[in-house]
Amino acid sequence: MRVRILAAALMTATLSACATTGAATPIEAAWSGKEAGKFFAAYGPPSSDRSEAGLTVYNWTGGYKTVKGRSYRCSAVISVDKSYTIRSIRVLGDRPGVNGPSYCEELLVGSN
């Protein structure tokens, strides 16, 4: 009986250690909970939208820039609730930035 209890406790501890916290990316951390109007005013309007599970989901592409003949831009899907608050932002298109591994992070986190 003790062996079963110990085994169950060990299994529970092991499984809880494997659970993820859903850590946000720097872009999600910077924009989740913020007003979508501020995002679109700063970076340009979305290209399209759709309703999904009580949210409005926007497709956005912006941040167009050319540095030394190399073109940069960022694409994202932004989910917004009825109060126009960003609930999630997921980058779809990115490339190495001018000063780091992610142009989208440079654009959307650096100036937020």
Cα(82)–Cα(86) distance, integer angstroms: 10
Q: Is position 42 within any domain?
A: yes
Helices (H) and strands (E) in the chain, counts: 4, 4
Q: Identify any residues that bridge with 88 across adjacent strands, giving them in sequence order.
A: 79
Q: CA geometry: angle at 78 spanning 77 and 81, to 5°?
A: 145
Q: Is position 10 within any domain?
A: no
Q: Is position 12 within any domain?
A: no
Give the model's pLDDT for residue 22: 59
Q: Is position 16 within any domain?
A: no
Q: CA geometry: angle at 61 spanning 27 and 47, to 5°?
A: 125
Kindly report, residue by residue over 1-22, the tens digit of the pLDDT. Answer: 554 443 333 333 333 334 444 5
68: containing domain:
23-108
Q: Is position 55 within any domain?
A: yes
* Total number of domains constituting the chain: 1
Kindly report, residue by residue over 51-104, the tens digit of the pLDDT. Answer: 999 999 999 999 999 999 999 999 999 999 999 999 999 999 899 998 889 999
